[in-house]
Structure 1
Amino acid sequence: MTSTVQGSSVRASESTSFDSISPIDDRYIGTFDVASAEAVAAAVAEARRVEHEWSSLPPKSRVRHLKAWRHEIWSRRNEFVDLIHRENGKPAEDALLEIVLTLEHIAWAEGHAPRLLRTRRVNPGLLLANYSARVDKVALGVVGVIGPWNYPLYAPNSAISSALAAGNCVVFKPSEYTPAVGARYVQAFNDANPTLPTGVLSLVTGFGDTGAALCRGGVDKIAFTGSTSTGSKIMMTCAETLTPLVMECGGKDPVIVAADADIASAAEAVAWGAFTNGGQTCIGVERVYVERSVSAEFTAALVEHARRIRPGGDASATYGPMTMPAQIDFVRGHLEDAAAAGGRALIGGLDSIGPRFIGPTVLVDTPEDCSAVREETFGPTVTICEVDGLDEAIARANDHRYALGASVFSRRRGNETAARLVCGQVTVNSVIAFAGMGSVTMGGVGASGFGRVHGDEGFAEFCRTRSRVSKMFDIPGFELVTLHRKRWVAQSIDRLLWLRHRA
């Protein structure tokens, strides 16, 4: 049996295997081991063995290794594009975009790690003025990353690139639907850095039990991207060992279209946000609230965009198949609920669902308590709801257990409206733009998760703070850190601080 730990000497003695097949045509991609709990523990142990060697490198030295990795991925981009297309199903252009975004986030980690890891001097305060105080940012140790299938490079890289730049070793478990992409990503790191010890970045493959084993495997943190239901299970597993988490879960992202919006621009953006990647995007558009005076114009423009969309597995397709076959039934269930509740499909609908591909669907007259509005669909569907004003639009947008991203289209009131939305990130007069910005923090609220990736705050998730205080000199007779404090010391402090804290 081949090793479940790529780039590692660890062997899995009692593993079964599974095949990865293309969602486009069931073509064989590769065979991968199902890592047992013992194999996962061995991967974590090997990462633990080399963590000091990696974390003790100066940040600029680690940056050079990340840069070499980035260059390796770019030089092999055609291979990555082909693999993502075959295993995930998305068109080649979308696969290339995912690669570019991945590399941009690695580059951001390279450029900012030295600054973010710099020791910071802080004021020790008046009472301990004879001390110096510093706060260090240091690596956690070993981070476990559990990735999704919809963006098999970009999503896990959001955690992995920052974790590595911060000095952590990483054990990565990709989705069982895209193990080949995950394996190639890890292989690129090892190919680019042959002088590094094995275990800095390693891979374990398998199903839910493998992910659970990683949660119990002794890592210092888990970074998870995936559904809210799976995230809940991971939380319960991590609670057994008090392993902290970063969780980027599901979304049901709203868009508000104001009466003063550029309607053509809004419709074009919503079409992309709703239907790109077959709607299989956690920060994709699923709900639209549009002011009544422009609702007909916006809806007609959106439907016209949808008419020009064609799903398929060939080079000219707009988007590919549903990567996870079970998701087709989930989308069907939401469309059936919408139809039963009086919702109408202006384009698409139940007749657009095939054995692999689902056509774009625009729903109107769908009640807000319908599953098509209340639950994440994760398919190429979007609901449109007319509202009487921005206050109603904001209230409906916020009335949801998911709160990941949001968008507002308005010429004059965009930022004002955005400031009132409950979400992790919001875009004005565009959609999803934040995802491509390495400096912009991303994460969810409520059922959409907690913790952050990207930006300074996302980098900080993979560090811990360590405070250092040093006594610089004695103050004769005025010593607080002693059991033999003179009585007059307390009296002096009382007089001194009366001046400082009096009303």
Structure 2
Amino acid sequence: MTHTAPAATFASRHPATGDVLAHYPVHGASETAAAVDRARQAATRWAALPAARRRSHLLAWKRELADCLDSLAESIAAETGKPRQDAQLEVLLTLEQLNWAARNAHRVLRRRRVRAGLVAANQAATVVHRPLGVVGVIGPWNYPVYTPMGSIGYALAAGNAVVLKPSEYTPGTGLLLAERFAAAVPEHAGLLTVVTGPGSTGEALARSGVDKVAFTGSPGTARKVMAVCAESLTPFLAECGGKDAVVVTADADLDAAADAVVWGAMGNAGQTCAGVERVYVVREAHAELCAKVVERARALPTGPSAEAAYGPLTMPSQTEVVRRHVSAALEAGGRAAFGGVESVAGPHVGPVVLVDVPEDSPAVTEETFGPTVVINSVADVAEAVARANASRYALGAAVFSGGGRAGAAIAARLRAGAVSVNSVLGFAAVPALPFGGSGDSGFGRIHGADGLRAFAAPQSVTVRRFAAPVDLTSFRTPAAAKARAIALARALHRRR
């Protein structure tokens, strides 16, 4: 649906054709502040509801999204360019996340008793996680439903209201999410609100007085948003992409590894924060794995056809980034086992498989975000782990090994927030697992119990059950009595 264009608007365009899909308003500071004010009023009512009632509302929204899966997928496909089936899978994974958050929020966040310890034995101690209030979510364009839902759904389940600022490349999809929420839960108007616009709208949201900002995007933009949040000490959660590595041992199933590498590197045109960008394979298996990867990459239908395995690059400027990485890798002595610079023409980029690229090349050190992969040989697993860990990114990783237990042991040595063994991105389909990274991949976690706690504040409460035999927190207690109590406690600690 095309929106009537007010004075300040921007256009959403199809990434392959450049055709205008719709016009949307550029929301400034005043409009964003008004959205936050409405959300704060809604948050008070939402937080006061019994947990079971919030769960019921969120599950109603989930059913609404399941009913409109096709129309939501169509919006995703139109704004990102990804194949419709990929968009449908994104929505399906989103439903899994929302379902888990709704059904587990009370269990994770409810009041629970904790041991008071020896000195405070007369106190009953509990902790409960309370809503923050209003959460600002700045979403990405590559997975405009699945990724922000890791913040939206979990923040709502924790009892907060949400103001979403979707990417300027996918505003219609963000608005559709909120429209479906309003249809499912009409009595809570303002609880999920959308503001649209470029980076200035995101800055306005960070300055609006929200109680936390959850951001997904590049490390450079994250630093800018975080600096704004720092002015008011607004808590900040950042998911900033990755340069994920795959470690392949000599005894690995190379067919399975090759299939996973191609899917992980080329799926969504390589525009996946936890996608495969680097592969380190032990020397004796390197040639065979490369051949199998090339065979599968060559078989991928690409280009503007409806049968293409993946779509165009969503953001026009990304084409030059991909071209620069491929060109620099070849100039530095790397070899193109398949494709090359000529594959990077226009929004539809063909698969590129690079081999033995120097470790200081941008194709190894910087996030490429295109359908390319670097496969380098290493002497052994120790070298593979060292190279994988050398990146300034630390989001996801994968290990392919002949045995699951051996693979898990290698996974434990990787500096990554999430690791899959004998698959790629396996963790993305398990809603109970936390997701996030460190370094230039950001900090904080979404999904799982950690994701729920990320949008809640713990409150500790003690209730005195009886008077302590010796009150150590009173000026009226004789010094000699305090000394005896301290000596007794010290003796007990020495014995334990």
Amino acid at match of 2:82: K
8 Å CA contact 2:322, 2:369 repeated in 1: yes
**TM-score, normalised with respect to structure 2:** 0.97
Partner of 1:430: 423
1:187 corresponds to 2:190: no
The aligned amino acid for 1:454 is H
1:91/1:314 contact within 8 Å kept? no
Between 1:459-468 and 1:226-235, the stretch displaced more is: 226-235
Match of 1:421 in 2: 414
Deviation at 1:170, TM superposition (A): 0.3
CA positional deviation for 1:50: 2.0
Tell me whether 93-102 or 16-25 shows the greater mean CA deviation: 16-25
RMSD of aligned Cα (Å)? 1.6
Residue type of the alignment partner of 2:292: A
SS of the residue aligned with 2:413? coil
Within 5 Å, give how 1:104-503 maps onto structure 2.
104-196=96-188, 198-412=189-403, 413-475=406-468, 478-502=470-494
1:111-161 alpha-carbon deviations (Å, 9 max, x no partner): 111101210111222222222111011101110000000000000001111
Cα shift at 1:498: 2.9
**Which of 489-498 and 463-472 deviates more?**
489-498
Which residue type is aligned with residue 391 of structure 1?
A: A
Partner Cα separation in structure 2 for residue 423 and residue 497 of structure 1:
42
Q: Number of paired residues?
A: 492
Task: Report the Cα distance in structure 2 between the residues aligned to 1:446 and 1:15, rounded to whole angstroms.
Answer: 41
The residue that corresponds to 2:9 in the other structure is 17
Aligned residue in 1 for 2:85: 93
In structure 2, give the amino acid aligned to 1:87: E
CA contact 1:20–1:29 (8 Å) conserved in 2: yes
Q: Give the match's secondary structure for 2:187.
A: coil
Runs (4 or more) in structure 1 with deviation over 6 Å come to none
CA contact (8 A) 1:310 1:359 kept: no
Aligned to 2:301, the other structure's residue is in SS state: coil
How far apart are the structure 2 equivalents of 1:57 and 1:314? 50
Q: Tell me if the contact between 1:146 and 1:175 (Cα under 8 Å) persists in the aligned partners.
A: yes
Give the C-alpha shift of residue 15 in structure 1: 6.1
Deviation (angstroms), 1:230? 1.1
8 A Cα contact 1:261 1:411, kept in partner: yes
Deviation at 1:60, TM superposition (A): 1.1
SS at match of 1:423: coil
1:137 partner SS: strand
Letter in 2 for 1:97: L
Map Cα deviations across residues 255-296 of structure 1 (whole Å, 9 max, x no partner).
Answer: 011000000000000000000000000100000001111111
Query: Structure 1: where are the runs of 5+ without partners?
Result: 5-11
After TM superposition, the structure 1 stretch with the greater mean CA deviation from structure 2, 282-291 or 488-497, is 488-497
CA contact 2:3–2:23 (8 Å) conserved in 1: no
Q: Is the 8 A contact 1:257 1:290 kept in 2?
A: yes
Residue identity over aligned pairs, in percent, reads: 50
Name which of 37, 43, 50 aligns with 1:51.
43
Give the drift of 1:501. Answer: 2.3
Q: What TM-score results when the alignment is normalised by the length of structure 1?
A: 0.95
Where does structure 2 lack aligned partners over 5 or more consecutive residues? none
Partner Cα distance (2:388, 2:243) in 1 = 9
The residue number in structure 2 matching 1:7 is: none
> How far off is 1:62 after superposition?
0.6
Alpha-carbon distance, 1:85 to partner = 1.1
Which deviates more, 257-266 or 234-243?
Answer: 234-243
* 1:8 aligned residue: none
* Letter aligned with residue 348 of structure 1: G
Partners of 1:493 and 1:312 in 2: how far apart? 78
Q: Helix, strand or coil: the match of 1:293?
A: helix
The residue type paired with residue 149 of structure 1 is W
CA–CA distance in 2 between the matches of 1:498 and 1:229?
52
**2: distance between equivalents of 1:161 and 1:174?**
15
Residues 151-203 of structure 1: per-residue CA shift (max 9 Å, x gap):
0000000111100000000000000000001110111101111122x221100
Q: Could you tell which deviates more after superposition, 42-51 or 105-114?
A: 42-51
Asked if the contact 1:89–1:313 (Cα under 8 Å) also holds between the matched residues in 2, the reply is: no
**Alpha carbons 2:239, 2:437 under 8 Å: kept:** yes
1:335 is paired with a residue of what secondary structure?
Answer: helix
Task: Give the C-alpha shift of residue 3 in structure 1.
Answer: 10
| AA of the residue aligned to 2:252 | A
Q: Which amino acid aligns with 1:207?
A: P
1:9 corresponding residue in structure 2:
none
Which of 67, 70, 80 aligns to 2:72? It is: 80
**Does the aligned pair in 1 maintain the 2:339–2:352 contact within 8 Å?**
yes
Q: Could you tell me how far 1:473 is from its partner in structure 2?
A: 2.3
